[in-house]
Structure 1
Amino acid sequence: MSDRIANAQLRGKVMTAEEAAQFVNHGDKVGISGFTGAGYPKALPTAIAERAKEAHAKGDEYMIDLFTGASTAPDCDGVLAEADALRFRTPYQSDPILRKKINEGITLYADYHLSESGLYVEQGFFGQMNVAIVEAVRIKEDGSIVPSSSVGNNVEYLDNAEKIIIEVNSWQSENLEGMHDIYRINRLPNRQPIPITAPEQRIGSTAIDIDLNKVVAVVETNAPDRNAPFAPVDEVSKQIAGHFLDFLEGEVAAGRLSYDGYIMQSGVGNVPNAVMAGLLDSKFENIKAYTEVIQDGMVDLIDAGKMTVASATSFSLSPEYAEKMNENAHKYRESIILRPQQISNHPEVVRRLGLIATNGLIEADIYGNVNSTNVSGSRMMNGVGGSADFTRNGFVSSFITPSVAKGGAISAIVPFASHIDHTEQDVKVIITEYGYADLRGLAPRQRVEKIIALAHPDYRPLLEEYYDRALKIAQEKSIMQTPHDLATAFSFHQRFLETGSMK
């Protein structure tokens, strides 16, 4: 038995994943740890999936409702989806098998802002939470849990579930202990201001206290997180990063930012990682992050002395950097803080700190509305995640994207976004490899020229043609605020569905 289980009462609950899975019944609402492929349970999902397969083979029903922090991994979301074990899923996912099940209508999916998902559980919007399955670095003598590489919604699931299953993963470095900052927000209507005025502030404890009487099983594992490598930085990503830095320099020149006062939030992916690589050679120093995830680029900034603190709820690292984190967690816990996502994404704190937020998109329209979730309006990709938490409340809300996808068949700039997650009121800056459009202070018609200039040259004439047609209709009918030709507003999407290309 692992020496990571220091509580005598819980040492008596150690069992196999297959045995523990018997506590998860058909129809249960199950909250698990995990955020962007970090800190999710490694053994129970497969054991639950096997239970589902056995039940289905007998003609019995077996499906659960699954709640997470955000995305997990193929050996979690993937195996459960493949076994048709998921009736309902929230709040964010990225697994291709699960995505297929959602779009086929087999799994119901509710897309919620990450800052709100834990609150919804607390308030009972989904009904009673039956089981919480949480990965830990270790269980302390008093029975409290030291989380692993993410915190996510762990606190809410542990507090509200009837039963608790703990996976103690010896792959995770014990030196992660001390990196976490666990703070509980009082339940409504007794909430108080969150006492964070700077990203480096710690306001809670390093472990999660739990009701030991709710623990029904402890499972030992030794398995890595899902750590996907980042793609090499290509020329387009470098150009986008360059334009983003140009924008930051403009903010310095305007007196709205200083070289030692940049507090950042960054979405996940290759392009945001390229932006952080660009910061290494920039004039910016003493960079701070108050964000969702710690990526490779932030680790590089910390190593270079460019970033002094990174506050998040999870890691999202490549295999190489995950190993580096495990080996040097004792060092990185001095500058990295992992918080519950109700804190890392909380609008109150985001607004107070004055973040410059940077996220990706699927498409933006010529007026600045952004679609982050649905391809052609109805095919779910991943979900809104925490992008809106930061977009709505950040000091500057920027979106970065290559101008085209699928070899040029899809334009990231369209006449009218086929689904809108971030409205024109919240989107301040859009950046592609062709430059950046600062939309602040502009009326809708003033934004059009700037946004079309960001499109790939193959699509600019089509966008200009659409706007000219929409403008003519608007002038004839005296409806000039946001000119649209509704008969052809989705012509790009219709053409793509019919021919496989928006051109």
Structure 2
Amino acid sequence: MTSRVGKASLRSKIMSAQEAATFIKDGDNVGMSGFTGAGYPKAVPVALAARIREEHAAGRPFSVGVWTGASTAPELDGALAETGGVRTRLPYQSDPVTRARINEGTIDYNDIHLSHLGPLVREGFLGNLDVAVIEVTAITDDGRLIPSSSIGNNKVWLDEADKIVLEVNSWQSMDLEGMHDVYEKFALPPYRQPLQMTRPGDRIGQPYLSVDNEKIVAIVETEQSDRNTPFKPLDETSKAIAGHFIEFLEHEVSRGRLPKELLPLQSGVGNIANAVLAGLLDSKFEGLTSYTEVIQDGMVELIDAGKLTVASATAFSLSPDAAEQMNNDAARYRRNIILRPQEISNHPELIRRLGVIACNGLIEADIYGNVNSTHIMGSRMQNGIGGSGDFARNAYISCFVTPSTAKGGAISAIVPFVSHVDHTEHDTSVIVTEQGLADLRGLAPRKRAKLIIEKCAHPTYRPMLEEYVERAGKVANGQHTPHDLMRAHEWHQRFIAEGTMMPGR
């Protein structure tokens, strides 16, 4: 492996991951790179996990706070969670071991809007950031950093950390150089300045991460791929959801509420969101743009087809095949793709200004349009809110997509009252299931309930929802948003007790 550490004075700091991990102490807060399994450090977290186990075996306490951009991979979240040495975790995760620790109460999880974390750290509210561990593609001759397959909160970590450990990963393509746009002038109030962007493809920063080289205490050279997960083949449910959504976009264009090339698209992570992108590939839309968090396979396919002119995000979330394709052809893709810090990719002002069409998944929605995207049956954390709130609150049109049922029909995604609220009815414009689409804009609550039940609920659960609405209208203490508070969460209670929301099974 040829060294990618260009600055000669930094080469003396090259060491093993085990040596680098010694710079992290018990009680430290550690800012790690990584966003949706892209661009996370791959060697130092494993070495740190081994060190934590050694300390615990010797009867000595050792725990750290783990801060990232978003989710990472088993080599980071899983390895550290297994040791019992993660004290706190924020702002988002998707690791099964970490999830189990959170739900048993041994990891304090702070589920934060992704656009909010950077400012919270910069203002010192979350405490000191002791160490940053950041993966990069290379270090230039003058000490600047070429980012890898995600940026996330890396700029914040580099600015705020006392000590910096870099992993220079030669698996990452050198042709990523020039794809990134790092805004350097982020300030806290009252010194903030307007962000000079009016289009998704505008560049307002530089293609490198700048860093105080004096804070770099260790450099670890690696050659390991990102942990990429294949997308599931498109099923009929996903195709139906995508079809309803695209038909809605076509309708909005025909009514003059959207331009023929649409407005910038945001797509949440996952198979259904990727199905929507695949549906756009076969649609009549041309000249599309995207302002989102992650570049998924569907967006790469839209670029290849000439339908997507620019995609702005903070990270990749690609299948193994698409990641290999991106590595092999990054020089071409950087004409269409811009990766930014998540302080920019998820910035509410920019989302509102650009008029983003947001499309995110959910766990459940209720008959009035409140959305739960984080908790199973009210109490168990699944992954976290991620950036969905940044986009839902500020989008031109905020859409949520989901199959109408889960667990083989034992769970209805449309319920009388969500068991946890992440996005209120005020932030929900459209709900889509394979059954149909409910456009909630301009509707009072009772009319929203009628439309959601008619268009989105599975036929098996539709009569139960209609019965709830009728009963709630008789017992509620008002008719604006009628609820039967004694029975509003009856379905969830039945599932916990019997394993199904459907009575009599």
Give the equivalent residue in structure 2 for 1:86. 86
Give the equivalent residue in structure 2 for 1:131. 131
Give the conservation status (yes or no) of the 8 Å contact 1:37–1:227.
yes
**Are positions 1:101 and 2:101 aligned together?**
yes
Give the conservation status (yes or no) of the 8 Å contact 1:197–1:353.
yes
Give the conservation status (yes or no) of the 8 Å contact 1:131–1:163.
yes
Alignment of 1:81-480 (within 5 A): 81-184=81-184, 185-453=186-454, 454-474=456-476, 477=477, 479-480=478-479
**Are positions 1:75 and 2:75 aligned together?**
yes
Give the conservation status (yes or no) of the 8 Å contact 1:259–1:283.
no
Give the conservation status (yes or no) of the 8 Å contact 2:69–2:153.
yes
Give the equivalent residue in structure 1 for 2:60. 60
Note the C-alpha offset of 1:188: 2.6
More displaced, 48-57 or 258-267? 258-267
Matches of 1:369 and 1:397, distance apart in 2: 12
Matches of 2:52 and 2:253, distance apart in 1: 57
Give the conservation status (yes or no) of the 8 Å contact 1:262–1:286.
no
Note the C-alpha offset of 1:464: 1.0
Note the C-alpha offset of 1:3: 3.0
Secondary structure at the counterpart of residue 24 of structure 1: coil
Q: Normalised by the size of structure 2, how large is the TM-score? A: 0.98
Matches of 2:9 and 2:388, distance apart in 1: 41
Give the equivalent residue in structure 2 for 1:9. 9
Secondary structure at the counterpart of residue 205 of structure 1: coil
Secondary structure at the counterpart of residue 23 of structure 1: coil
Matches of 1:303 and 1:337, distance apart in 2: 16
Give the conservation status (yes or no) of the 8 Å contact 2:91–2:113.
yes
Give the AA of the match of 1:210: V
Give the equivalent residue in structure 1 for 2:22. 22
Note the C-alpha offset of 1:409: 1.0
CA offsets, 1:312-371, max 9 Å, x none? 000000000000000000000010000000000000000000011000000000000000
Give the AA of the match of 1:424: E
Matches of 1:415 and 1:189, distance apart in 2: 44
Give the conservation status (yes or no) of the 8 Å contact 2:367–2:415.
yes
Note the C-alpha offset of 1:263: 1.3
Give the AA of the match of 2:471: R
Give the conservation status (yes or no) of the 8 Å contact 1:38–1:150.
yes
CA offsets, 1:256-280, max 9 Å, x none? 1122233100000001111111111
Matches of 1:164 and 1:384, distance apart in 2: 28
Secondary structure at the counterpart of residue 320 of structure 1: helix
CA offsets, 1:66-92, max 9 Å, x none? 000000001110000001120000000
Matches of 1:85 and 1:48, distance apart in 2: 10
Matches of 2:91 and 2:187, distance apart in 1: 22
Give the AA of the match of 1:107: I
Give the AA of the match of 2:317: S
Secondary structure at the counterpart of residue 425 of structure 1: helix
Matches of 1:376 and 1:60, distance apart in 2: 37
Secondary structure at the counterpart of residue 164 of structure 2: strand
Aligned length: 500
Give the AA of the match of 1:394: A
Q: Normalised by the size of structure 1, how large is the TM-score? A: 0.99
Matches of 2:221 and 2:369, distance apart in 1: 49
Give the conservation status (yes or no) of the 8 Å contact 1:262–1:284.
no
Give the conservation status (yes or no) of the 8 Å contact 1:2–1:220.
no
Unaligned regions of 5+ residues in structure 1, if any? none
Instruction: Calculate the aligned-residue CA RMSD, in Å.
Output: 0.8
Secondary structure at the counterpart of residue 220 of structure 1: strand
Give the conservation status (yes or no) of the 8 Å contact 2:378–2:419.
yes
More displaced, 251-260 or 299-308? 251-260
Matches of 1:424 and 1:337, distance apart in 2: 32
Give the conservation status (yes or no) of the 8 Å contact 1:46–1:80.
yes
Secondary structure at the counterpart of residue 22 of structure 2: helix
Give the equivalent residue in structure 2 for 1:492. 491
Matches of 1:282 and 1:170, distance apart in 2: 38
Give the conservation status (yes or no) of the 8 Å contact 2:288–2:309.
yes
Matches of 2:435 and 2:137, distance apart in 1: 45
CA offsets, 1:179-218, max 9 Å, x none? 0000031233210011110001111101111011100000
CA offsets, 1:367-391, max 9 Å, x none? 0000000111110000000001000
Note the C-alpha offset of 1:2: 3.5
Matches of 1:120 and 1:2, distance apart in 2: 39
CA offsets, 1:6-45, max 9 Å, x none? 0112111000000000000010000010000000000011
Give the AA of the match of 2:468: Y
Give the conservation status (yes or no) of the 8 Å contact 2:428–2:440.
yes
Matches of 2:485 and 2:254, distance apart in 1: 41
Matches of 2:319 and 2:73, distance apart in 1: 14
Give the AA of the match of 2:489: F
Matches of 1:2 and 1:147, distance apart in 2: 18
Give the AA of the match of 2:459: P
Matches of 1:261 and 1:245, distance apart in 2: 11
Note the C-alpha offset of 1:449: 1.1
Matches of 1:223 and 1:104, distance apart in 2: 32
Give the AA of the match of 1:457: P
Matches of 1:441 and 1:250, distance apart in 2: 17
